[in-house]
Amino acid sequence: MSLSTKEIVAIGHKCLMGNVARYELAFDHGRGMKLWDADGKEYLDFLGGVATCALGYAPEIIVRTIAEQAARVIHISNYFYSEPLVKLAELLTVSSGLGKAFFCNSGAEANEAAIKLARKYSHDLYGPGRHGIITAIGSFHGRTMAAISATGQDKVKEGFEPLLPGFVHVPYGDIEALAGAATAETCAVMLEPILGESGVVTPPADYFPKVAQFCEEKKLLLILDEVQTGIGRAGFKYAFQQYDLLPHIMTLAKGIGGGVAAGAMLARDDVAARLTPGSHSTTVGGSPLAMAVGLVMVQTIFEADFLNNVKTTGAYFKNRLEELAAELGPELAVEVRGQGLLLALELTRPSGPVAAELHKRGFLVNAVTGTALRFAPPLIVAPAEIDILMPALKEAVKTVYPQ
């Protein structure tokens, strides 16, 4: 006999650590854009496992790939090659223009690798002492020690000091502040194309080209954290491709595995060459199972028609949110932000109660900040499903904050 949502949550309260503020929902299965909880209630999902379930739930092509690969081999030592491993590496390097790939299990692990590579590259070329990395205020790069040190949010660091030294945080989108923070000890600049965890904040259009130019002039490495924006989320294969630039290092995760744990770090050939045997590795990263899934995920999403659909659907979604913001008025709504299918609605009031009200109505979103709602649905979302969300979202806001 299956457990009810209430029973699952009760066991969770008893046995799970409290490091995650979980909603009291327990899901049993999903299909496409929909999830069903343990009691059989249906939800339309506009969170997508936090921009991870890019092809939705139980897509036939992924289910089949997992079954077929699991029947062959799930894991081998990273001392050996596998066909899925090299095929995914080839696809990512060719499509990005970055020459080499390293595979791991998460975005945080990919960012750890990027930080290590940047410091090793600088050490090898310039000697010790040139190890500083400039990141953005409001950035989020993961939960490991180096990743929280890189992150520009104090709330993720409290109680974990001392942090890894060498990180300087500057206002996002401000090229003058970034340039002013660079010193003789700086080796790299590490940025997200969109600040996902700070409420889906986008920079000025000329910001990243100027950053790339500055890095080339000062011989600094440009690291782009595309854990949330990569693999089609912004309507491009990689978000940086909307600009005329090429980073030295890029990190990926989330959509690359569609829910199967997978991450990657890509780098230019000359930079990647600094990671020699024994300098960095991971036991399970690059497993045949994860790589087989990643290959199918990336092949599917990188189709031109698929990416064009992300752009058009994302533009439609953003327009509908802007219409809703206008209807709610400045007393309740501030602005709509984002690109592709990574969007946010900024409210004048706390967003948490609105997210909770939407959950009651069968819609999944999250309060990414105290006043912002984030929408990162599977990339297969259709305009008709967005149209179903809109009146529910309006009613939820009006219910929580009646005028």
Report d(CA 97, CA 101) in Å as an integer: 11
CB 366 within 8 A of CB 50: yes
- In the beta sheet, which residues pair with residue 65? none
- Mean pLDDT, consecutive 10-residue stretches, the chain (403 aa), reads 93 95 95 97 97 97 98 95 98 98 97 98 95 98 97 95 96 98 98 96 97 98 98 98 97 97 98 96 96 98 97 98 97 97 98 97 97 98 98 97 89
CB 398 within 8 A of CB 331: no
Q: What is the pTM of this model?
A: 0.96
pLDDT at 69: 98
pLDDT at 361: 97
Report d(CA 193, CA 234) in Å as an integer: 9
pLDDT in tens, 63-122: 999 999 999 999 999 999 999 999 999 999 999 999 999 999 999 999 999 999 999 999
Neighbours of 66 (CB within 10 A): 19
pLDDT at 1: 67
pLDDT at 112: 97
pLDDT at 403: 78
For residue 162, CA distances in Å to 112, 145, 146, 148, 296 come to 17, 9, 11, 11, 41
pLDDT at 303: 96
Report d(CA 328, CA 222) in Å as an integer: 40
- Which residue segments constitute the domains of the chain, with CATH numbers given? 5-58+304-400 (3.90.1150.10), 73-301 (3.40.640.10)
For residue 79, CA distances in Å to 3, 114, 171, 287 come to 42, 21, 42, 11
List CB contacts of 349: < 8 A, sequence separation 6 or more: 332, 371, 400, 401
